[in-house]
Amino acid sequence: MDNWNAEAEYTSHPMAPGVYAEFKEHSGTPHGFIFGAGWAKAKPFLLTSPDQFRAPPPPDISSVDYAKSFNEVKECGSTNSTVRTEDQTHEAMWWKDFVENSHNRLARSLILQEKLNLWEAARTMALLNMTIFDAYVNVFDNKFYYNHWRPYTAIRWAANDGNPETMEDKEWNNLHKHTYAFPSYPSAHGSASSAAMRVLSHTLGTGDQYTFTMTTEEVDIAGPFFQKDKNGSSHPYLQLLYRSWTGSQSLQTLFRNTFQI
């Protein structure tokens, strides 16, 4: 049993600068609900333990780097942003699809396109899903290790962060008016997507240059390309987290371990 969805202990924290905590109705979920604590305790396929790779800490909330990311999310990720373009909005909603959905759908289409035989297809799907699983295990271990607050809370409570370059907005909300009930850093979407795309490009021998069309469950318009770095760049527009906090650097060894199988 991998126990990814098992009950896991999580101690809720009172409101404090930089710390993940429930903030009124921010997650749209029952009070006290936390998602993903079981992922941090699951048994991985390829990693030696959930905490094998410790991501570097997020920027200090008093820093210039933090303020830069904060203000980008505040401006570009708000519900009625005046600076986010129509294309950026579409990009954000496109990438809202969960990695295990979007990349398995992509893998199936590429297997047909490349005419892989049964063994090659089975190996590709197995490597892809083991890697996505382990990426989630590692990233949720890091999320609960750092317990960093989400932009929804950070922006509505910015008067308490001690950073003169951030301004509070108590009415601020994000593009899709929902905030996930788990800490923000590092990005599960960015980490799992980066790892998944490396598996597919390596398995298919395409490197980083590959063009095709696919659909998503989130919007009904097919996209002309699938670019692995777009997942991270879409999140400031959707307001899931900050652009640079994808956590993909922690997964380089995971990627190498995958292809020792």
Q: According to the model, what pLDDT value does residue 178 have? A: 81
Backbone angles phi, psi at 131, to 5 degrees: -70, -45
Banded model confidence at residue 242, pLDDT cuts 50, 70, 90: low
Q: According to the model, what pLDDT value does residue 94 have? A: 78
**Residue 168: pLDDT above 50?**
yes
**Do the Cβ atoms of 40 and 141 come closer than 8 Å?**
yes
| Structural Rg of the chain based on CA atoms | 19
Tell me how long the chain is.
261
What domains, with CATH codes, occur in the chain?
A: 71-258 (1.10.606.10)
pLDDT digits (tens, 9 = 90+) for 183-237: 999 988 888 988 898 888 888 876 556 666 666 766 555 454 445 545 444 455 5
* Secondary structure of 115-138 in HEC code, one letter for each residue: CCCHHHHHHHHHHHHHHHHHHHHH
In terms of average pLDDT, the best of 23-32, 79-88, 250-259 is 79-88
**Residue 35: pLDDT above 80?**
yes
The contacts of residue 96 (CB under 8 Å, 6+ apart) are 176, 218, 238
Banded model confidence at residue 38, pLDDT cuts 50, 70, 90: confident
Quote the percentage of the chain above a pLDDT of 70: 72
- Exposed (0-12), middle (13-18) or buried (19+): which is 109, by Cβ within 10 Å? middle
**Residue 4: pLDDT above 80?**
no
Which residue is it, tokens 């909300």?
173
Q: According to the model, what pLDDT value does residue 232 have? A: 46
Q: According to the model, what pLDDT value does residue 134 have? A: 93
pLDDT digits (tens, 9 = 90+) for 117-167: 999 999 999 999 999 999 999 999 999 999 999 999 999 999 999 999 999
Query: Amino acid identity of 159?
Result: A
- Whole-angstrom distance, CA of residue 19 vs CA of residue 55: 17
Tell which wins on pLDDT, 213 or 100: 100
Quote the percentage of the chain above a pLDDT of 90: 40
Q: According to the model, what pLDDT value does residue 259 have? A: 57
Q: Compute the mean pLDDT over every residue in the chain, rounded to the nearest whole number.
A: 81
